[in-house]
Amino acid sequence: MTDEPRAWRVVLESIERDLLDGRLRPGDRLPGERTLSADLGVGRSSVREALRVLEVLGLIRTATGSGPSAGAIIVALPGGGMSALMRLQVAATGFAVADIVGTRLVLETAVAADLAESAPKRSLEASVGLLDVMESRTLSADEFLALDAQFHLSLAEASGNQVIAATMAGLRSSIESYVRAGASTLPSWEATSARLMLEHRDIVRAIESGDAAVARATVHSHIENYYSETNLPAHRVVGLPETVPDATPRGT
């Protein structure tokens, strides 16, 4: 193989440049594959390879047909690609589950603390709504865990940092099968889920109380203990501040 640039990279880099220079922005439509192919002097297959990368990374969505919604449209979904990347890296053991959990603890405790001390208060309406749903009926473990993930993500979204939210969503998604498998090892799913719901309320209460340290600690133990309880691989906790000692039980 020569030092010739890979044809698909030529396409990818061209599009990245256009994005950086503002020539392309979310909502814009890329030229058609055949046009890109001719303009960049590469084969249509190479164009498609680059577009596939962009699609999986959440940068574009594609549709057939003609008219304004056809073709490849720039979307730039913040969550795009993060889940796929993390899931695959975990699957291939590039990311250790323990490190995923540790990272999650760092981010989620920071989010909780931020929400606790933010002024003016950020709305936890979405989060509370999810708790209402979770408490309103009996849910299977899978249903519960899906809503649980949404609850955690809703806090990140309330904090307003989309990078953190996307990263957290990706982290959660990457170990979803582990979390699910863990649930089936529990002596009593009913007891655990009931406790988890109480803890969710604790988290919301801690945040609303404005005490960042308590919010941190509540989230921390909530997450850490679910993993301990379900025997997920041990993780090292990275750089969390001293937690407030309390009798806060276990978590997701």
Residues that bind DNA (CB under 7 A): 1-2, 4, 6-8, 30-35, 37, 41-46, 48-49, 51, 62-72
Span from 42-50, 127-135, 139-147, 221-229 in contact with a copy of itself (CB under 8 A): 42-50
- State the nearest-atom distance from the C-beta of 110 to a copy of itself, in Å: 3
CA distances from 8 to 23, 62, 124 (A): 20, 17, 44
71 binds, among DNA, a copy of itself, none (CB under 5 to 8 A by kind): DNA
110 binds, among a copy of itself, DNA, none (CB under 5 to 8 A by kind): a copy of itself
Of residues 141, 122, 140, the one with CA closest to residue 210: 122
Binding mask 93-132 for a copy of itself (x = CB under 8 A): xxxx--xx-xx--xx-xxxxxxx-x---------------
58 binds, among DNA, a copy of itself, none (CB under 5 to 8 A by kind): a copy of itself
* 227 touching a copy of itself, by CB under 8 A: no
With CB under 8 A, what is the number of residues at the site for a copy of itself?
Answer: 74
Span from 72-80, 132-140, 142-150, 197-205 in contact with a copy of itself (CB under 8 A): 72-80
102 binds, among DNA, a copy of itself, none (CB under 5 to 8 A by kind): a copy of itself
84 binds, among a copy of itself, DNA, none (CB under 5 to 8 A by kind): a copy of itself
Bond before 241 cis per omega within 30 degrees: no
- Of the pair 40, 111, the CB lying nearest a copy of itself is at 111
Q: Is 32 in contact with 73 (CB distance < 8 Å)?
A: no
Through-space distance between the first and last CA atoms of the chain, rounded to whole angstroms: 49
Q: Which of residues 77-96 bind a copy of itself (CB under 8 A)?
A: 77-78, 80-82, 84-89, 91-96
CA distances from 23 to 30, 72, 223 (A): 11, 15, 43
> What is the β-pairing status of strands 60-63 and 71-74?
antiparallel
Which of 152, 172, 216, 222 binds a copy of itself (CB under 8 A)? It is: 216
Q: How far apart are CA 101 and CA 224, in angstroms?
A: 8
69 binds, among a copy of itself, DNA, none (CB under 5 to 8 A by kind): DNA
2 binds, among DNA, a copy of itself, none (CB under 5 to 8 A by kind): DNA
Encoded tokens for 128: 């509370």
Collapsed DSSP state (helix, strand, coil) of residue 121: coil
Q: How far apart are CA 160 and CA 6, in angstroms?
A: 38
- Of the pair 33, 229, the CB lying nearest DNA is at 33
Of residues 161, 181, 171, 177, the one with CA closest to residue 85: 171
Q: Which of residues 182-201 bind a copy of itself (CB under 8 A)?
A: none
Q: Is 50 in contact with 8 (CB distance < 8 Å)?
A: yes
Q: How far apart are CA 7 and CA 36, in angstroms?
A: 12
